[in-house]
């Protein structure tokens, strides 16, 4: 598994190729009414792809870009596991909102 580097909000965004064995992401946090959510951005090519985040599978994507909010609840720094049913033409990145 490869660690996805979280980009700062407003910074340039460059997705990287998804890892065949899956990726990890350090989550954002919510506390005191303030949310520091991390957004996982997945860009999928022509091959149908299902993204699974911490054991919860999303819908199948084809030739789309999807944004998934990833929050660690009250714990900033929780490692979130991300897997894909295939990685051909799939790039991923993360932005702290």
CATH classification at residue 71: 2.60.120
39-57 pLDDT, tens digit per residue, is 999 999 999 999 999 999 9
Residue 35: give the domain boundaries. Answer: 2-96
Task: Provide the domain count of the chain.
Answer: 1
Q: What is the helix (H) or strand (E) element at residue 90, kind and residue range?
A: none
Stretch 26-42: mean pLDDT, rounded?
76
Task: Give the pair of three-digit tokens for residue 62.
Answer: 């084809």
Strand 91-96 to 6-7 pairing: parallel
73 has a pLDDT exceeding 90: no
Stretch 69-90: mean pLDDT, rounded?
86
23 has a pLDDT exceeding 80: yes
């Amino acid at each position: 598994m490869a660690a996805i580097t979280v980009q700062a909000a407003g910074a340039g965004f460059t997705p990287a190729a998804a890892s065949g064995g899956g990726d990890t992401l350090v989550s954002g946090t919510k506390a005191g009414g303030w949310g520091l959510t991390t957004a996982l951005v997945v860009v999928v090519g022509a091959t149908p792809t299902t993204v699974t985040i911490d054991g919860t599978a999303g819908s199948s994507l084809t030739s789309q870009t999807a944004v998934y909010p990833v929050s660690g609840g009250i714990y900033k720094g929780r490692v979130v596991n991300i897997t894909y049913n295939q990685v051909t033409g799939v790039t991923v990145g993360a932005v702290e909102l």
